[in-house]
Amino acid sequence: MGNQTAVLTPQHEDFPRWYQGVLTKAKLAENGPARGTMVIRPTGYAIWERMQAEIDARIKVAGAQNAYFPLLIPMSFFEREAEHVEGFSPELAVVTHGGGKELTEPLAIRPTSEAVIGEYMAKWVDSYRDLPLLLNQWSNVVRWELRPRIFLRTTEFLWQEGHTAHVTESDARKYARRILHEVYQDFMRSVLAIPVIVGSKTASERFAGAENTMTCEGIMRDGKALQMGTSHEFGQRFSRAFNITYSSAEGATELCWTTSWGASTRMLGGLIMTHGDDFGIVVPPALAPVQVVVVVVKDIDGAVTRTASALAQDLKGRGVRVKLDDNIDQAFGWRATEWDLQGVPIRVELGPRDLADNVALLYRRDTRDKTQVGIDNLVAEVEQLTGRIQTDMFEAATARRDALVIDCATLDEAREAAQTGVARLPWELVGTSGERDLATSGVTVRCLQLSDGSLPDTDHDRGALAYVARAY
């Protein structure tokens, strides 16, 4: 690969420019025609589809059912919960005309569906036998963004949002944590290979209207944090606002305890900025829409193509997601650059000389190492390598993250450390006034965690450690 020319701005030179470059060059996404919107191209969308499938399967195991609620919500719905309306009002897109006429009540495009789902939960829940009610929705949402950035902050994005109602506070709490750990954390670690830091948000960083917000924070290669999935407890605030009540076994009318939780196309940004390098994105095998590309380097009489095609078929038969690149009209170097850009985890390269020696080159995208393997062993080698890359990518990302996290003893130290990485210090040294102080330097408390890695209870955060960083 020595003669490969750099197609991207190196990360160390200009990380934001590298990010923009890789979005374009890997054909992941581009800006939409309306400000702040994005077009997700097939290469990017295929990754999103795999994210959806993996998360959806975990959500179903957790017992939630998918449903669909309307895009357009009467403005009055937002006004029922004070903090919720305050949080979302500045971000709403408003439909004032429909069918050629001005509407009597303007409609908001959903920025989140708490309000409308709350309305229907109230209808559907009658007795304690109807609980828990566990709903999830895959949809688009719109939040007006002043500083849009593809995948990270866009006016429209795609996500799933779960909404649940429970009999007791303890049930609601357990479920919100189950989703955090068994859906988000497990998916992010075992599929995305991202060692997210899992913790609770401070009061000032909570979701609008939530009593507790728990988060999975990814640490990007540039030292900034990215909130990649959150799970919220609402206590009884939403059930009070929307009258979500049940009759207990004893016949009393009681308010439900509700939760909500979401993860979005932001995760694509997290994937790119956690694993990407100067040659493109790097997709972990468990996630990759194409895990292996079998490349015909060149061919004379069709023999190489036949063998490559047979190898691809064998891999497919073993359940590997594989693609054949027999496009020998284009130079091999150009094609290799493209596959690097798109981050396909494994490349099998085969040319006439390899065929004569009954070998192929096995290239792994994460380390960019090449080894020669016998064609007869190739399928087994690829299967082994798939698992190894997945593990190695998680370990490498963990090492990079750990190198970015710096233990600090004062707020000043933390502010300083957070300019290039993540500061960790006792929450007692920060506090609400420290948070305000950090904010003036563009730094926030990303989450609180107890020293054993577990989550502090809301308002019982003594002894908690604060992770402090700049954030996307």
Judged by the rule CB under 8 A, the positions of this chain that interact with a second copy are 30, 32-34, 37-42, 45-46, 48-49, 65-74, 77, 89-100, 106-107, 109, 116, 119-120, 135, 139-140, 142, 144, 146, 155-156, 158
Which residue, 175 or 394, has its beta carbon nearer to a second copy?
A: 175
H-run or E-run covering 394 = helix 378-404
Which residue, 156 or 349, has its beta carbon nearer to a second copy?
A: 156
Which residue, 155 or 230, has its beta carbon nearer to a second copy?
A: 155
* Six token digits for residue 362: 């096995």
* CA angle in degrees (0–180, nearest 5) for 74-146-211: 60
Expressed in angstroms, the distance from the first to the final Cα of the chain is 34
- Is the backbone peptide bond immediately before 132 cis, with ω within 30 degrees of 0? yes
Which residue, 105 or 452, has its beta carbon nearer to a second copy?
A: 105
Which residue, 37 or 309, has its beta carbon nearer to a second copy?
A: 37
Which residue, 97 or 460, has its beta carbon nearer to a second copy?
A: 97
Which residue, 135 or 455, has its beta carbon nearer to a second copy?
A: 135
Cα–Cα distance for residue pair 41/25, rounded to 1 Å: 11
Which residue, 49 or 407, has its beta carbon nearer to a second copy?
A: 49
* Distance of closest approach, residue 182 Cβ to a second copy, in angstroms: 20
H-run or E-run covering 307 = helix 303-317
Query: Quick count: other Cβ atoms within 10 Å of Cβ 170?
Result: 10
Report the SS3 class of residue 223.
coil
* Six token digits for residue 439: 């904010």
Cα–Cα distance for residue pair 48/57, rounded to 1 Å: 14
What's phi and psi for 84, nearest 5 deg?
Answer: -65, -45
* Distance of closest approach, residue 27 Cβ to a second copy, in angstroms: 9
Cα–Cα distance for residue pair 110/98, rounded to 1 Å: 16
Cα–Cα distance for residue pair 442/187, rounded to 1 Å: 30
Give 321's Cβ-side CA count (13 Å radius): 14
Which residue, 72 or 380, has its beta carbon nearer to a second copy?
A: 72
Cα–Cα distance for residue pair 111/113, rounded to 1 Å: 7
The three-state (H, E, C) secondary structure of 421-467, written as one string: CEEEEEHHHCHHHHHHHHHCCCCEEEEEECCCCCCCECCECCCCEEE
Query: Quick count: other Cβ atoms within 10 Å of Cβ 455?
Result: 20
* Distance of closest approach, residue 72 Cβ to a second copy, in angstroms: 5
* Distance of closest approach, residue 395 Cβ to a second copy, in angstroms: 32
β-bridge mates for residue 444, sequence order: 469
Question: What are the distances in angstroms from CA 193 to CA 35, 70, 367, 396, 462?
Answer: 32, 34, 15, 9, 31
* Distance of closest approach, residue 266 Cβ to a second copy, in angstroms: 14
* Distance of closest approach, residue 277 Cβ to a second copy, in angstroms: 25
* Distance of closest approach, residue 121 Cβ to a second copy, in angstroms: 11
- Side chain identity at residue 266, one-letter code: R
* Distance of closest approach, residue 48 Cβ to a second copy, in angstroms: 8
Which residue, 107 or 418, has its beta carbon nearer to a second copy?
A: 107
The answer to whether 237 touches 165, Cβ cutoff 8 Å, is no
* Distance of closest approach, residue 112 Cβ to a second copy, in angstroms: 15
* Distance of closest approach, residue 419 Cβ to a second copy, in angstroms: 30
* Distance of closest approach, residue 345 Cβ to a second copy, in angstroms: 20
Which residue, 90 or 319, has its beta carbon nearer to a second copy?
A: 90
* Distance of closest approach, residue 45 Cβ to a second copy, in angstroms: 5
Which residue, 98 or 442, has its beta carbon nearer to a second copy?
A: 98
Report the b/e string of 62-96 with b at 16+ CB within 10 A.
bebeeeebebebbbebbebbeebbebbeebbbeee
H-run or E-run covering 392 = helix 378-404
